[in-house]
Amino acid sequence: MKKIKILDKEFEISMSAESIQNRIGELAEELSSDYEGKKPVFLGILNGSFMFSSDLFKKISIDAQITFLKLASYQGTTSTGAVKQLIGLNQDIKDQHIVILEDIVDTGITLETIMRQLSGYQPKSIKIVTLLFKPEAYQKDVKIDYIGFSVPNEFIVGYGLDYDGFGRNYDDIYTLVK
Ligand code: IMP
Ligand code: MG
């Protein structure tokens, strides 16, 4: 079993680069067929989805655009604490078919925030693609349209996913060793 150490923690491989790339190929085919003639705008959510967005987009075979957004945290004045705001958005998405690209959906809180803010820009449609989904952790009702893999409720890194900012640089995915 391939093991890596990131900062103070040990991880072991749980998904090979090959299986990730194969699944991304399938997703790209499905999306290319579903969005034929619609000139979709792919919206990669930074930082986590940079690798997935790049690999997926390279395999898209129709006319399509890509752009990136970031969720910036700042300290809110409300009792709920940290508030997250989408930055990098502009009016160009009005009347466009938007395809959100996420690395992982866990509780769904991030996704709900993104959906709420995006709908204000009046796109023609919004669909969601996530490479990874943790069904046991999901708390929201937002429909996830395309899922690469459903994974157990365990902490993972690699392929863009980080532990305290580290570990994004692996092309396999690794699970925290308990
Ligand atoms: P959510 O808002 O709970 O759905 O969390 C989404 C964000 O939490 C993701 O975009 C990731 O940045 C992070 N996250 C959730 N699970 C993991 C994990 O297992 N490893 C690394 N980051 C994760
Ligand atoms: Mg993320």
- Per residue in 74-116, pLDDT (tens digit) is 654 444 546 678 888 877 899 999 999 999 999 999 999 999 9
Index of the ligand 1 atom closest to the CA of residue 151: 19
Q: Is the CB of 108 under 6 A from ligand 1?
A: yes
Q: Report yes or no: 16 and 131 within 8 Å, Cβ to Cβ.
A: no
Catalytic residue among 106, 145, 171, 172: 106
Q: Does residue 106 carry a catalytic annotation? A: yes
If DSSP codes are grouped into helix, strand and coil, which group holds residue 162? Answer: coil
Phi, psi angle pair for 123, to nearest 5°: -70, 165
pTM of the model: 0.94
Contacts of 19 (CB under 8 A, 6+ apart): none
Average pLDDT score over residue span 132-149: 97
pLDDT above 60 for 69: yes
Index of the ligand 1 atom closest to the CA of residue 134: 16
**Per-residue model confidence (pLDDT) at position 75:** 52
- Give the rounded distance of the alpha carbon of 157 from its chain centre: 13
Residue ranges of domains in the chain: 17-75+82-151
Nearest CA residue ID for atom 5, ligand 1: 106
Q: Which top CATH class is 17-75+82-151?
A: alpha beta
Index of the ligand 1 atom closest to the CA of residue 47: 12
* CA distances, 22 to each of 17, 29, 47, 55, 149 (Å): 9, 11, 22, 11, 11
Q: How far apart are the first and last CA of the chain?
A: 15
Q: Is the CB of 160 under 6 A from ligand 1?
A: no
